[in-house]
């Protein structure tokens, strides 16, 4: 768990850097008690823990939590975002913004890797939680053919009914006959075995830390599979969270999300120019931006969720 948390924190640092946000990166992990517990008390205790960090860490809604639970955290600290939606459109579940960035990035990746629009593609979505559902709806509206898989069979069935998707078992989604694979569940899904049996020619999804190791990104490149680095394409949620916390107008947040594919294009261009795989190109760009920000404005790099 600690290892995963550290990897996620690093990913958040790189994600914020590529997105041009004046934030560093961090990640909190709440260990769920094995016995029955008071969920309200748990999140209030978490709020007190965040408060003790005196603003060095800002938490937000993520996997396994809700805006309403972030409101419980808010009773003990101001250093929280992803709160229930306000009248001006700020706050709320950031999943739709994440899905929008994925969708735009997928359009670009399909054009570069497949030379055709999403309407002519079959897309395999692994995980139909908040982001996966929103992404499936967008892709369905764009005319794409969908394959979906989730450990929650009922969730997969609901998406299938709503979008006409075909439900695929968890064991078969990676090797399913699809043009694009969209990992939208938990991380580490692309390991040496998966990289070898993947049939899709594009990988673009919402999950964090999709590559089990950096070597797996090289394996995808060796097979001429176009990988859209996760923290580049899934930044829509943190952009919306940052706008909420920093007090930016929603229009500014929207514009940054809409530019997600432009940032992915920069990564692909860097990869081609320097002869490296896309995941390496993204890391290089992120590290350079962090270094530049540290030199130019060290006080602006707060630690963020």
CA distance 305 to 298: 18
Cα separations in angstroms, 34 against 1, 30, 31, 37, 169: 15, 12, 9, 8, 28
Angle 278-296/214-222 helices, nearest 10 degrees?
Answer: 130
**pTM more than 0.75:** yes
Looking at the chain, the whole-number percentage of residues with pLDDT higher than 70 is: 93
Alpha helices in the chain (DSSP H): 2-19, 39-51, 67-74, 95-113, 130-141, 153-163, 192-197, 214-222, 230-233, 236-246, 250-258, 260-274, 278-296
CB 122 within 8 A of CB 106: no
| Residues recorded for the chain | 305
| Cβ atoms < 10 Å from Cβ of 256 | 22
Contacts of residue 200, Cβ cutoff 8 Å, sequence gap at least 6? 124, 178, 179, 180, 181, 225
Write out the two tokens for 180: 């694009």
Q: Catalytic residue positions?
A: 27
CATH for the stretch 94-232: 3.40.50.720
Domain residue ranges of the chain, discontinuous segments joined by +: 94-232
**Which pLDDT belongs to residue 222?**
97
Low-confidence ranges of the chain (pLDDT < 50): 87-88, 298-305
**Which pLDDT belongs to residue 30?**
85
To which H or E segment does residue 166 belong?
strand 166-167
- Within 13 Å and on the Cβ side, how many CA atoms surround 231? 26
**Which pLDDT belongs to residue 28?**
86
Characterize 275-289 residue by residue with b for buried, 16 or more Cβ atoms within 10 angstroms of its Cβ, and e for exposed. ebbbbbbbbebbeeb
**Which pLDDT belongs to residue 295?**
60
**Which pLDDT belongs to residue 303?**
38
């Amino acid at each position: 768990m600690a290892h995963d948390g550290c990897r996620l924190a690093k990913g958040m640092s790189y994600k914020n850097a590529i997105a041009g946000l004046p934030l560093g990166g961090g990640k909190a992990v709440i260990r769920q008690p094995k016995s029955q517990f008071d969920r309200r008390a748990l999140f209030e205790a978490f709020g007190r823990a965040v408060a003790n960090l005196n603003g060095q860490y800002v938490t937000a809604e993520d996997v396994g939590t809700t805006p309403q639970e972030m409101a419980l955290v808010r009773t003990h600290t101001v250093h929280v975002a992803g709160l229930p939606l306000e009248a001006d459109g700020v706050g709320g579940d950031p999943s739709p913004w994440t899905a929008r960035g994925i969708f735009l990035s997928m359009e670009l990746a399909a054009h570069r890797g497949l030379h055709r629009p999403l309407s002519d593609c079959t897309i395999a979505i692994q995980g139909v939680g908040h982001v996966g559902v929103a992404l499936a709806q967008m892709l369905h509206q764009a005319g794409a053919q969908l394959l979906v898989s989730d450990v929650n069979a009922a969730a997969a069935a609901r998406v299938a009914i709503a979008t006409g998707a075909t439900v695929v078992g968890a064991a078969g989604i990676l090797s399913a006959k699809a043009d694009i694979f969209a990992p939208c569940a938990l991380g580490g899904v692309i390991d040496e075995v998966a990289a070898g049996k993947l049939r899709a020619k594009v990988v673009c999804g919402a999950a964090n830390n999709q590559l089990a190791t950096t070597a797996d990104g090289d394996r995808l490149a060796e097979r001429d599979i176009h990988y859209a680095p996760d923290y580049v394409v899934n930044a829509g949620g943190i952009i919306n969270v940052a706008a909420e916390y920093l007090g930016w107008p929603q229009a500014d947040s929207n514009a940054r999300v809409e530019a997600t594919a432009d940032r992915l294009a920069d990564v692909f261009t860097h990869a081609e120019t320097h002869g490296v795989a896309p995941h390496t190109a993204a890391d290089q760009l992120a590290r350079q931006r962090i270094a530049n920000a540290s030199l130019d404005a060290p006080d602006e790099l707060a630690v963020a969720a």
